[in-house]
Amino acid sequence: MFKRMYAILFRRTIVADVVQAIIVGGLLAFFTANRIMGLRLFSSMPRSGFSGIIQDFFIGLALVFITLNLILDDEAKAHQTTTNGWNTIRQCNQPGNGILMRAACAKYLPMANVLQEAAYWTTTVDSTGRALSGRHNYVLHFPAGQLPPNNAFWSVTLTDVRNYMVPNPADRYSIGEGSGLLPNADGSVDIHIQHTSPAGHESNWLPAPSDDFKLWLRVYLPGAAILDGKYNVPPVVEVKG
Amino acid sequence: MTHMKYKHSFTFLSVMIAAWVLGTFAFIQFSLQPIVNNLQQLLTYLSVIIVVWVAGTFALIYFWPRLMLYGIKRVLTQRGGDANSSSGVPINTLYAVPNRASPLATSKILTTGTDDVLYVFGWLDLSKGPQVLHVPDFSGRYYSVQFTDSSDGAAFAYVGTRTTGTQAGDYLIRGLGWKGQMPSGMTQISSPNNSVLVIGRVLVESDNDLSTAYGLAKQIQLTPLSHWQPGQ
């Protein structure tokens, strides 16, 4: 119930757009009607003169922030590619980007490296599209020879959904190239992402909080397959049982 | 519809305007209040909202990267480069953050930083003349120094493993309108702006490697060209 209300009020879906737009449009209609008629109930609200103009100014500003968020969200989405639940924007902070792209990048990837220096992916969902949560156990499985190609290093960092690292007993916040990952017998690599330490797989454990979280994959000096857009990050798969 | 680039903006704004117009008529229709204001006042009301709305949206989109970076500049120069610092980082100096990102040491500059690298932060003002960036010998270790234009957020130049290699070096960063003599044998970086954010990243291999990495990060330094001497 609350999850549905939250989704309708804050997630960017067409249903949410319509519901939010009717609420905001209704408020604007109320202000406009109040100006025209002077509804007695709200007679203390300014209807004309200087204080009325100030009120109009702030209504205009509220519309600016709503419109700005909508446009920059749309712009970022248009440049974002999603594969196996992992999102990435490849064009950020390149010299020569258009005005809308610059603004969207300043909002979503401020001060990030250009793609040639580092590639970034984020995900908040598993392979079935359900939100990542410490209530479940996950494995990120890189088949043999398919670790992220690079000329520097790669890592997977875990944060909460507000992008802050979460304290954990292992004092480990990322895992990757330099973490002493142990490969499987066939050369593939499993990263175990869960709240409690996975018995027998401690060296490949990325500790998760007890609730929702987000993963970041960074690849510094990405290899040709990433620059060409041919490399796909494998999905984060929930382990049952 | 699902492939339309601005579908959420379009849906929201068209429904909102429809609800605004229809809602206004509905309020008037179902209310028994007399109309007290004249049409001219209504037009003033609507024109103020629409002018602020349209002009404000264009202006904020255009200035967004600049506003974001000036926010960063304020934090960096007044409050410092990391969670524990108590004083700001002066203009035209670099500050190496001594520890890696963790829940206790979240950078004031980059909340989404990685703990694979040590960060170096600084703000350049090139209006009084060029600066010389010195980097030590990183002996094959990954590092980068990223230069970000404060007007549009573009990372317009890099010094580091990818672009210049890991050997020690000096690089001249030149702002707009500088016509002076360039010291011979120095690589030159032309900045499209006199205000530049500098972000350095130095790879940390492990906890044991932290002090070595920090020692190197601290040696990434700036000197005004007017004070610089070769071999310094």
Q: How far apart are CA A104 and CA A81, in angstroms?
A: 15
Q: How far apart are CA A204 and CA A188, in angstroms?
A: 12
Interface contact flag, B155 A12, Cβ < 8 Å: no
CA distance B200 to chain A (A): 11
Cβ-nearest to A93 among B15, B153, B162:
B153
CA distance A1 to chain B (A): 23
Interface contact flag, A29 B72, Cβ < 8 Å: no
Comparing CA positions, the residue from B71, B64, B55 lying closest to residue A76 is B64
Q: How far apart are CA B109 and CA B208, in angstroms?
A: 25
B197 chain-A contacts, CB cut-off 8 A: 111
Number of domains in chain B: 1
Cβ-nearest to A71 among B6, B41, B62:
B6
CA distance A241 to chain B (A): 30
Does residue B43 sit within a domain? no
Does residue B47 sit within a domain? no
Q: Which of A12, A20, A27, A32 to mutate to test the interface with B (most CBs of B within 10 A)?
A: A32
Which chain A residue has the Cα nearest residue B18? A25
pLDDT the model gives residue B198 = 97
Cβ-nearest to A106 among B5, B41, B68:
B68
More confident: A161 or A4: A161
B205: CATH: 2.60.40.1610
pLDDT the model gives residue A42 = 56
How many Cβ atoms sit within 10 Å of the Cβ of residue A120?
21
Cβ-nearest to A56 among B16, B18, B45:
B45
| Cβ atoms B134, B217 nearer than 8 A | no
pLDDT the model gives residue B215 = 97
pLDDT the model gives residue B1 = 42
Q: Hey, is the C-beta of A9 within 8 angstroms of any chain B C-beta?
A: no
What is the residue whose two structure tokens read 């900045």? B191
Dump pLDDT digits (tens) for A93-115: 999 999 999 999 998 888 999 99
Classify residue B229 by burial, with Cβ atoms within 10 Å: 0-12, 13-18, 19+: exposed
3-state secondary structure of B48: helix
pLDDT the model gives residue B105 = 66
Q: Which of B1, B2, B20 to mutate to test the interface with A (most CBs of A within 10 A)?
A: B20
Does residue B222 sit within a domain? yes
Average pLDDT, chain A: 89
Spans of chain B, pLDDT less than 70: 1-3, 32-38, 83-84, 104-108, 110-112, 231-232
pLDDT the model gives residue A163 = 86
Instruction: Give A7's pLDDT tier (boundaries 50, 70, 90).
Output: low
Dump pLDDT digits (tens) for A155-200: 999 999 888 899 999 889 999 987 889 999 999 999 999 999 999 9
Q: How far apart are CA A217 and CA A31, in angstroms?
A: 47
Instruction: Give A67's pLDDT tier (boundaries 50, 70, 90).
Output: very high
Q: CB under 8 Å to B112, separation ≥6 — which residues?
A: A159, A163, A216
B155 chain-A contacts, CB cut-off 8 A: 93-95, 113-114, 117
Rounded to 5 degrees, φ, ψ at A152 are: -140, -80
How many Cβ atoms sit within 10 Å of the Cβ of residue B136?
17
Residue A49 in this model has a pLDDT that exceeds 80: no
Full set of structural domains in chain A with CATH: 115-239 (2.60.120.600)
Q: How far apart are CA A186 and CA A141, in angstroms?
A: 12
Cβ-nearest to A165 among B26, B103, B153:
B103
Average pLDDT, chain B: 88
- Identity of the residue numbered A67: T
How many Cβ atoms sit within 10 Å of the Cβ of residue A52?
18
Does residue B37 sit within a domain? no
Dump pLDDT digits (tens) for B69-99: 999 999 999 887 776 677 889 999 999 998 8
What is the residue whose two structure tokens read 């950020």? A92
Interface contact flag, A39 B34, Cβ < 8 Å: no
Domain extent for B139: 77-227
Does residue B86 sit within a domain? yes
Q: How far apart are CA B110 and CA A86, in angstroms?
A: 21
Q: CB under 8 Å to A232, separation ≥6 — which residues?
A: A83, A84
| The two structure tokens encoding residue B208 | 């044991």
End-to-end CA distance of chain A: 28
Q: Count residue pairs from A and B with Cβ separation < 8 A.
A: 257
Interface contact flag, B110 A111, Cβ < 8 Å: yes
| The two structure tokens encoding residue A174 | 């990322």
State whether the Cα torsion A49-A51-A55-A60 is positive or negative: positive
Instruction: Give A30's pLDDT tier (boundaries 50, 70, 90).
Output: confident
| Cβ atoms B16, B9 nearer than 8 A | no
Which chain A residue has the Cα nearest residue B163? A117
